[in-house]
């Protein structure tokens, strides 16, 4: 294996992580920016720092990504598979970012990796149990986030029912700064590890290491790439998340951030990758439903849901095509 090929993989993985950073910046700061709890630039810089800290704290999700979809040690065209998966996921992330659709980078990566494995080694190479566990986490976590967001908002709504709306919003605008930090940290603990897992997948399949241990240089480089991407910001998605689902007030943003961050960090603790986009959007929908069901713009929510549903099948097919193109011209 030529060393330059591995460096191509590392470059693509960090590029994916960088794009993931600005693609998913909205997840952590959309509510705090839309309620003016934080100025946009301050929010983005804060998110970048907290994303970095979260990214270097854990490695369990990286190991799950690196071995859950397939066993890298058993793949003949492993590095080509990784390159095809990353190219596919990057293309889909850029397309959805361009149109301001808060689709899932996690779904894009998992779907792309599965498609590339199928193209390169056949359906039998998919680790059925691991892949099902990942899919369960990706599908169940938004439901939990919707429920938790609804419950937190329901409790807050009743607790402050007789309080002055002005004073409530003033207090929760300050509280949002804390929950935005918590949100950004939890995002880093889960999302940055996906790029780490892909790099380790490539290192194992290339024979550079025999275990799913995540080297320190991989941790730091992935954390840095995500933080730099976050520092750019994804304004189109921030607008969708922060203003187009329903009119978010500080108490709503506080509830949504608290609920989603709790779900994401819980998933990280049990080494399961989740879609931070799905979790945060679902939490916002749950909070909006608790506030007033009719206040939620369900048409916008429906278009977001369609992007969720189509991401995995599209990226599976896209990655298969990319793999065959690489294999054809290599």
Split at pLDDT 50, 70, 90, the class of 236 is low
CA distance 217 to 257: 31
CA distance 32 to 237: 14
Helix (H, G, I), strand (E, B) or coil at 270: coil
Helix (H, G, I), strand (E, B) or coil at 139: helix
pLDDT of residue 43: 83
pLDDT of residue 214: 92
Split at pLDDT 50, 70, 90, the class of 242 is very low
Split at pLDDT 50, 70, 90, the class of 235 is low
pLDDT of residue 302: 78
Helix (H, G, I), strand (E, B) or coil at 123: helix
Nearest to 19 by CA among 102, 95, 93: 93
Cα separations in angstroms, 18 against 68, 95, 195, 271, 300 = 23, 15, 10, 22, 27
3-state secondary structure 188-250: HHHHHHHHHHHHHHHHHHCCCCCCCCCCHHHHHHHHHHHHHHHHHCCHHHHHHHHHHCCCCCH
In a 10 Å sphere around its CB, with 0-12 CB exposed, 13-18 middle and 19+ buried, how is residue 171 labelled?
middle
Contact partners, residue 56, CB within 8 Å, separation at least 6: 219, 220, 223
The share of the chain scoring above pLDDT 70, in percent, equals 92
Contact partners, residue 322, CB within 8 Å, separation at least 6: 84, 87, 88, 116
pLDDT of residue 248: 78
pLDDT in tens, 250-269: 899 899 999 999 999 999 99
Split at pLDDT 50, 70, 90, the class of 30 is confident
């Amino acid at each position: 294996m030529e060393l330059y090929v591995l460096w191509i993989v590392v470059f693509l993985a960090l590029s994916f992580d960088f794009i993931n950073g600005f693609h998913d910046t909205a997840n952590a700061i959309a509510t705090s920016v839309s309620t003016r709890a934080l100025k946009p630039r301050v929010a983005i810089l804060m998110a970048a720092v907290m994303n970095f800290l979260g990214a270097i704290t854990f490695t369990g999700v990286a190991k799950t990504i690196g071995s859950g979809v397939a066993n890298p040690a058993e793949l003949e065209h492993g590095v080509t598979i990784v390159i095809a998966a990353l190219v596919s996921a990057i293309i889909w992330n850029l397309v959805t970012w361009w149109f301001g659709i808060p689709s899932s980078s996690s779904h894009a990566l998992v779907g792309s990796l599965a498609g590339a494995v199928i193209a390169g080694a056949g359906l039998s190479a998919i680790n059925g149990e691991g892949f099902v566990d990942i899919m369960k986490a990706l599908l169940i976590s938004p439901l939990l986030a919707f429920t938790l967001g609804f419950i937190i908002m329901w409790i807050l709504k009743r607790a402050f029912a007789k309080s002055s709306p002005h004073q409530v919003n003033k207090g929760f605008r300050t509280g949002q700064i804390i929950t935005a930090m918590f949100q950004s940290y939890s995002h880093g603990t889960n999302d940055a590890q996906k790029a780490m897992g892909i790099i380790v997948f490539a290192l194992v399949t290339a024979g550079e290491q025999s275990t799913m241990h995540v080297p320190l240089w991989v941790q730091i480089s992935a954390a840095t790439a995500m933080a730099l991407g976050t520092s750019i910001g994804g304004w189109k998605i921030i607008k969708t998340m922060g203003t187009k689902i329903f009119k978010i007030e500080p108490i709503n943003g506080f509830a949504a951030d608290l609920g989603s961050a709790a779900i994401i960090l819980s998933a990280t603790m049990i080494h399961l990758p989740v879609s931070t986009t799905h979790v945060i959007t679902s939490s916002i929908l749950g909070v909006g439903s608790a506030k007033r069901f009719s206040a939620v713009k369900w048409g916008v929510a429906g278009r977001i849901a369609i992007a969720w549903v189509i991401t995995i099948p599209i990226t599976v097919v896209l990655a298969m095509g990319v793999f065959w193109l690489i294999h054809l011209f290599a």
